[in-house]
Amino acid sequence: MELMEVLNNRRAVRDFNDTPIERATIEKLIQSAILAPSAMNLQPWAFAVRLGREEIDRLGERVKDHLLKNFPQAGPEASLRKMVEDPNYVLFHHAPALVLVVAKSADSQAREDCCLAAQNLMLAARDEGIGTCWIGLSRPWLNLAATKKEFGIPPEYEFVAPIILGYPKSWPKTHGRNAAEIFWAK
């Protein structure tokens, strides 16, 4: 695909068919991710990968448990709570693959660098016909000390971008975009 075609056609995908994602495909996408720019070229990223719908579903259930124990009952997060409370709400959308982009330090601009790597990964995936969705709701659970330990992630590392991947049943329609607010010099 041409770059503009990829940009125009990437969508958050939450409905996947049964085709698994191969390890080699994930490795190829990570090679695209690490082409991203980074502050002072520190390349402060690492990646954790989980493959297999059942395992990822189980992780999603644990994220939901954590969120429901910690979400406030009122305030702006109350509507999110309602969504997550629904027993039919599947946090990782039954995806067959999960790539977690991890910042290796809180120094410099490691989080920003990881977001750029994540965007590269999502665009490269689109080019391969693979759908992705960033699952921000999983971050609080991922960044618990116990979860980092379970994933073999050093305590000073931080999960930044949890990206699910899979072959879409179909590509969702675009939500469109609001007009950009631009401040030109007067």
11 counts as binding ligand FMN under rule CB under 6 A: yes
137 binds ligand FMN (CB under 6 A): yes
User: Contact with ligand FMN (CB under 6 A): which of 16, 134, 157, 159?
Assistant: 134
CB atoms within 10 A of CB 181: 5
| Alpha-carbon torsion (127, 128, 130, 134), positive or negative | negative
Q: How far apart are CA 12 and CA 173, in angstroms?
A: 10
The residue with its CB nearest to ligand FMN is: 136
53-68 in b/e burial notation, b at 16+ Cβ within 10 A?
A: beebeebbeebbebbe
Which residue from 101, 122, 131, 124 is spatially nearest to 21, judged by alpha carbons? 131
Interacting residue with ligand FMN among 37, 72, 136, 154 (CB under 6 A): 136
Query: Is 173 in contact with 51 (CB distance < 8 Å)?
Result: no
- φ, ψ at 169 (rounded to 5°): -65, -40
64 lines the binding site for ligand FMN (CB under 6 A) = no
Nearer to ligand FMN, 155 or 176 (CB): 176
Q: 100 vs 135, which CB is nearer to ligand FMN?
A: 135
Least distance (Å) between residue 127 CB and ligand FMN:
16
Whole-number CA gyration radius for the chain: 17
Q: Which of 14, 64, 104, 126 is the binder for ligand FMN (CB under 6 A)?
A: 14
Q: How far is the CB of 164 from ligand FMN (least distance, A)?
A: 8
Question: Which of 2, 24, 69, 175 is the binder for ligand FMN (CB under 6 A)?
Answer: 175
Q: Which residues of this chain interact with ligand FMN, rule CB under 6 A?
A: 11-12, 14, 133-137, 175
